[in-house]
Structure 1
Amino acid sequence: MLIMRSMSVMKSAWKLAYRHSSIALRYKATAVPRSSNPQLSFPCLDKLEQKNKTLASAMSEQLTFCAPSVNSLEGGPEPSYSRVVTGFEVFKSDRPTFMDNGGYLPSFEIAYESWGTLNAAKDNMILLHTGLSASSHARSQPKNTKSGWWENFIGPGQYIDTDKYFVVCTNVLGGCYGSTGPSSRDPATDDYYGTRFPIMTINDMVRAQRELVREVFGVKKLHASVGASMGGMQSLAYAWEFPEEVEHVISISGCARSHPYSIALRHTQRQVLMSDPNWNRGFYYDGIPPHVGMKLAREIATVTYRSGPEWESRFGRNRADDSRPVAFCPDFLVETYLDHAGEKFCLEYDANSLLYVLKAMDIFDLGLKNREKAFEVRSKNEEQFFNEVSETLQETLPKEPYQEKIKKATETPEESWKDLQNGMKKIANKKVLVIGVESDILFPVWQQREIADVLRSVSSQQENIQYLELGTNVSNFGHDTFLLSVDHFGPRVKSFLSN
């Protein structure tokens, strides 16, 4: 009985196995095999592909793309400006300007805007220096009523009072908002400069500004040189280049020389931008711009504009939509914020300008050795140019093309400090206000302390060197503090300018 029952179970098992194998064979012959899980979707990549198609179509119709149609990102480090900027004036110099690292521009233009009135003595002018990608539009004015990037800082009765001061702001040399830069045409060839534009320095920028100050306004001495971020570098550089032509110097969230951490951050931005095949070694003006590289570069930069605690309080670990599956595309709120920041910026600013201005920040150093070397290179090229007028642009460039060199640091910290002291002596007896922000990770606060400390160490009038530090109890906005917390340092600026 037991044997018969076992044989019956085996027979049933054989029938079931046969039925399953038959179904499997029929399925294999008639259906596509299913994977264990469905493939993830990538809407962010779909969006990029669609943008490439749109840009390609626009280029084929010879349309010009300057800025995407999106709203400004509130609280961004440098507010949104289309490259079709209006309302600025243009100063043109027909004299060649020679660069610290070799090469020259046969002529150049500087875009600028102004507020207030220059007095009869011409001693109330304040030159305002911009951050990395800002235009000259620091405040609204009749020719451009759009709010500026320091709208609530400049104006009648404001911290920089246009009832008292005549304020001028420029777009930097190398930029793309009206001033000569890589997207400009070389008068020698009538073609875009592209990466034939010479490597420039912060000091090159301020020497161009000085021509504007002298030629357009006839001002022999500024009441103040003022700037934040890269503008803080320029503010110091202007005083260094022309110490007898500046009364007050204000540097906010800047530095006296770039340090490895900041250089490393800017390096990553350049690398992702240059890896975009549309960049084409800088010659993309007749094709699709490197918008993907620009977007990623801006996302990296945006991470450094705020602080960790600010990200925590603003976004936390919240996802944009908990009802949607987890994805590789922007998913957390902080990711969607970065994605929007990159998307907003990627067609607003010229990619080559970004590369050149970032590099200018990297090589900024007011140490004596660096400035002496720059003067030697510039003087040699200038002498060669005027002695041999018939030489071409290529022949006036250094024999060895500019390239980054990897080498070990040869200076000790003590030697480096001494070199900076020797370099900063030129401005040590000026009236200088340095402002730092404890939560800043892009220009860490110790870099502002370094400016104040080195100036005091070589100054015979230490009371002229003022330092203000905003702690985390005041602002967690990080580097963006100079735009978002103006009421916390504005009164100090106003008082300093009045002395």
Structure 2
Amino acid sequence: MRPLRGLIMPNPGLLRVKRFNSGSSTNPAMMFPCLDKMERVSEGLRTTTVGTQGQNEPVYGKVSSGFEIFKSNRPFYTDYGGVLPNFQIAYETWGTLNENKSNAILIHTGLSASSHAHSTEANQQPGWWEKFIGPNNVCLDTNKWFLICTNVLGGCYGSTGPSSLDPADGLPYATRFPMLSVHDMVRAQKRLIKEHFGIEKLYASLGSSMGGMQSLSYAQQFPNDVNKVVSVSACARSHPSSIATRHAQRQVLMADPNWNRGFYYPTATEPNKIPPHVGMKLAREIATVTYRSGPEWESRFGTERLDDDRSPVLCPDFLIETYLDHQGEKFSLEYDANSFLYISKTMDLFDMSLSHVERSIRRREKAQELYESGKLNKVEDPLVDKDSGKKKHRTTTVEQAYEDLKRGCKPLLNNEVLVVGVKSDGLMPCWQQREIYSLLEGETNPNVTHVELQESESYFGHDTFLLDLEHIGRSIGQFLCK
């Protein structure tokens, strides 16, 4: 893919406009204020130190404060053959842990969320799930429950991620960071839960979107260490349509030449590197389209233009375009680009199939063997099977894949599980939640509850879990209390 160089070069574009508007043209050259704006941002970043500079908290983040840190100094081996010699997890809590530590609920986040699910004394800004948490709340009553929310491993709001320093050389990991799985994120959380809080068994594991994947993963890996499981707008394995959408987002981001294959963090010799804000902006715009539904777009924006009396332009012209432009621009310097890439890919790789779990265990064991022998960084691909010397490719039928997935979900059969889907959700359609219900034998398993919101109840699409306290929140609250 050709780099989007025209979007970030500041002065040549203006010169071209002047040259092509010399008076010999039949029509005047079109102006591009949206590109001019991004060029001005780039120029400003050339003289402003932006980025992490080895810190886990990006200076451009607006919600990365008020959290606590759990540090683990034991090596952490990942599902895809990597290792972190140590790591840390950012977390926040609400409510009070009871004496026998039986009222703890772990809240898992979506792709780009921080640990700040609700305001605290240390950070009084509203959290991303502010109206779902609080005293006597219909969803998560802090008079009853002790709530824990973490920034995931691989994130950039306090937890170890690509922007963190590699202890081997003191430089940011960047794209030397190991590829992660959702199961890795959960195992890192497990260390926090057991080693820091001393909690042997969670009352509930709860999450939406990628958080819903994590919630299922927690029960799959530690079925005896959690009572109730809540998974909203998630799936048991990623599906082609979602993978394709996230692939497009990543490709757009990586096409920004400032991404520099992940090595855009400031250094002592280059303190003013420009982060790939253009690629991040465009990737976020693509993502935002998938978060809401067509009926909501129609209701909010229709096909209204900013000014029907002015000639159309190639920059944002429709109201929906200005909304996407704003969302992308706001996000572009609030989140680390590498964290976005890694966590997005992590969602694509999610698979609860038994064969996937078994391969992951073998890879972790191989990573530990190589790391302890000092050979891990000398192996080009630690995932190659040592017996055959070739990567394995499995071809299975739809029926075989489903049975494999069903076997992988067996550990959850004795847990109480709530599965929530939203009919207007285009990113993780409701049939994927029905699949979870089927995999857990919902028709005959009294432990499994399935709730599906109709379009008449919510037309907010995938983002319904962030907005609908009445249907989503109340369903969760009732399930937790039964």
TM-score, normalised to structure 1, is 0.86
Retained in 1: the 8 A contact 2:51–2:58? no
The residue identity in structure 2 corresponding to 1:253 is: S
* Structure 2 CA distance for aligned equivalents of residues 197 and 486 of structure 1: 37
* Structure 2 CA distance for aligned equivalents of residues 396 and 427 of structure 1: 36
The residue identity in structure 2 corresponding to 1:356 is: Y
Secondary structure of the 1:114 match is strand
Retained in 1: the 8 A contact 2:58–2:156? no
Aligned to 1:50: 40
Match of 1:39 among 15, 29, 34: 29
Aligned to 1:448: 433
* Structure 2 CA distance for aligned equivalents of residues 425 and 462 of structure 1: 12
User: Cα distance 1:409–1:401, how it changes in 2: closer, same or farther (>3 A)?
Assistant: closer
Secondary structure of the 1:152 match is helix
- 1:354 maps onto 2:340 in alignment: yes
Match of 1:260 among 224, 228, 240: 240
Match of 2:256 among 272, 276, 284: 276
Q: Deviations over 1:427-465 (max 9, x none)?
A: 1121000000000001111111100111016x9x70110
* Structure 1 CA distance for aligned equivalents of residues 301 and 33 of structure 2: 22
Q: CA deviation at 1:160?
A: 0.8
Q: Deviations over 1:474-498 (max 9, x none)?
A: 0100001001112112222112111
Q: Deviations over 1:385-428 (max 9, x none)?
A: 34x3xx155137744699xx999982211111101111000111
User: Cα distance 1:225–1:186, how it changes in 2: closer, same or farther (>3 A)?
Assistant: same
The residue identity in structure 2 corresponding to 1:140 is: S
* Structure 2 CA distance for aligned equivalents of residues 37 and 230 of structure 1: 50
The residue identity in structure 2 corresponding to 1:288 is: I
* Structure 1 CA distance for aligned equivalents of residues 263 and 375 of structure 2: 21
- 1:233 maps onto 2:216 in alignment: no
Where do 1:241-256 residues align within 5 Å? Answer: 241-256=221-236
User: Cα distance 1:45–1:406, how it changes in 2: closer, same or farther (>3 A)?
Assistant: farther
* Structure 2 CA distance for aligned equivalents of residues 265 and 61 of structure 1: 27
- 1:192 maps onto 2:172 in alignment: yes
Secondary structure of the 2:91 match is strand
The residue identity in structure 2 corresponding to 1:160 is: L
* Structure 1 CA distance for aligned equivalents of residues 421 and 51 of structure 2: 49
Match of 2:320 among 331, 334, 357: 334
Aligned to 2:135: 156
Aligned to 2:465: 482
User: Cα distance 1:468–1:109, how it changes in 2: closer, same or farther (>3 A)?
Assistant: same
* Structure 2 CA distance for aligned equivalents of residues 476 and 265 of structure 1: 20
Aligned to 2:449: 466
Secondary structure of the 2:92 match is strand
Aligned to 2:73: 94
Secondary structure of the 2:395 match is coil
User: Which entry has the higher C-alpha Rg, 1 or 2?
Assistant: 1
Q: Deviations over 1:85-128 (max 9, x none)?
A: 11100000000000000010000000000000000001100000
* Structure 2 CA distance for aligned equivalents of residues 348 and 444 of structure 1: 28
* Structure 2 CA distance for aligned equivalents of residues 58 and 472 of structure 1: 46
Where do 1:266-305 residues align within 5 Å? Answer: 266-286=246-266, 287-305=273-291
- 1:111 maps onto 2:90 in alignment: yes
Where do 1:402-417 residues align within 5 Å? Answer: 410-417=395-402
User: Cα distance 1:131–1:143, how it changes in 2: closer, same or farther (>3 A)?
Assistant: same
The residue identity in structure 2 corresponding to 1:197 is: F
* Structure 1 CA distance for aligned equivalents of residues 384 and 307 of structure 2: 51
Bigger mean CA deviation after superposition, 53-62 or 207-216: 53-62
The residue identity in structure 2 corresponding to 1:432 is: V
Match of 1:310 among 282, 296, 299: 296
For structure 1, the 5+ residue unaligned runs are: 1-31, 69-80
Q: Deviations over 1:355-383 (max 9, x none)?
A: 00001000000011111111111122224
Match of 2:151 among 161, 171, 189: 171
Aligned to 2:10: none
Secondary structure of the 1:212 match is helix
* Structure 2 CA distance for aligned equivalents of residues 373 and 224 of structure 1: 28
The residue identity in structure 2 corresponding to 1:37 is: N
**Of Structure 1 and Structure 2, which has the larger fraction of its residues in helix?**
1
Retained in 2: the 8 A contact 1:381–1:396? no
Q: CA deviation at 1:349?
A: 0.3
User: Cα distance 1:267–1:409, how it changes in 2: closer, same or farther (>3 A)?
Assistant: farther
Q: CA deviation at 1:384?
A: 3.9
Match of 1:129 among 83, 88, 108: 108
Retained in 1: the 8 A contact 2:81–2:383? no
* Structure 1 CA distance for aligned equivalents of residues 87 and 332 of structure 2: 26
* Structure 2 CA distance for aligned equivalents of residues 109 and 453 of structure 1: 37
Secondary structure of the 1:38 match is coil
- 1:321 maps onto 2:301 in alignment: no
Match of 1:214 among 186, 191, 194: 194
The residue identity in structure 1 corresponding to 2:177 is: F
Give RMSD over aligned pairs.
2.3
Secondary structure of the 1:186 match is coil
Retained in 2: the 8 A contact 1:318–1:333? yes
Retained in 2: the 8 A contact 1:381–1:397? no
- 1:493 maps onto 2:454 in alignment: no
The residue identity in structure 2 corresponding to 1:130 is: T
Percent identical among aligned pairs is: 57
For structure 2, the 5+ residue unaligned runs are: 1-21, 267-272
Secondary structure of the 1:324 match is coil
Aligned to 1:433: 418
Aligned to 1:27: none
The residue identity in structure 1 corresponding to 2:377 is: Q
* Structure 2 CA distance for aligned equivalents of residues 428 and 41 of structure 1: 60
Retained in 1: the 8 A contact 2:50–2:59? no
Retained in 1: the 8 A contact 2:32–2:315? yes
